[in-house]
Amino acid sequence: MQLIGMLDSPYVRRAAISLQLLGLPFEHQSISVFSAFDRFREINPLVKAPSLICDDGTVLMDSILITQYAEAFPQKKRSLLPTGLGELQRALRIIGLAMTACEKSVQIVYEHKLRPAEKLHEPWLARVTGQLQEAYKALEEEFANRPQVVASVTSATIDQATLTTAVAWYFSRQLVADVVPADRYPALAALSAAAEALPEFAAAPYGDGICQVH
């Protein structure tokens, strides 16, 4: 399989780390949806990252769908999702919060960088910022109430909810650190530090590099 997209995208990075933790072999191509638009379009006309080229040539997109597909492989090392209904419900809620945090972080960046300053829409920016902060407030409460999760983050125990939260938090801190100061979210800061120390995270570092599959 081939994973297409740059690791400065939390969605690409989430997929790359998930595939490694599941023990599924893949190659990573760091192709930008901006500077290499035409090249990406040759792979996926929708130019959406991440895109996954499956072994039979089928192209999947969206990290949620890619990780769902990966979970279906019988040869995976383990599942990143719980099987019990209650724990699955909690995990999906956390994943939803973290993915929303990614989305709102991107919207804030686009509002500042892509829209002319004279056309900056402050009411919209305030709304998105509030949504981002609410997402991280909820995530902070989740992990502050379960310190044992943060204290025991390993490659063998980390799940999709924890993984996605860690990737989202690191991404937001790179781009909108002033909106989500670390001292306001100590549990998330600790979780991120623990996750980033894992070999699967280190092999897929945030930025424009290539994932060195662990």
* Each residue's pLDDT tens digit, 136-189: 999 999 999 999 999 999 999 999 999 999 999 999 999 999 999 999 999 999
pTM, 2 dp: 0.96
Q: Which residue type, as a one-letter code, is found at position 179?
A: V
Choice between 196 and 118, residue whose per-residue pLDDT is larger: 196
Per-residue pLDDT band at 111 (split at 50, 70, 90): confident
Which range (67-81, 114-128, 167-181) has the least confidence?
114-128
Per-residue pLDDT band at 131 (split at 50, 70, 90): very high
Q: Nearest Cα to 189, choosing from 152, 138, 136, 131? A: 136
Alpha carbons 166 and 183: distance in angstroms, whole number: 16
Structure confidence by residue, pLDDT tens digits, 79-100: 999 999 999 999 999 999 999 9
Residue-wise over 3-34: b if at least 16 C-beta within 10 A, else e? bbbbbbbbbbbbbbbbbbbbebebebbbbbbe
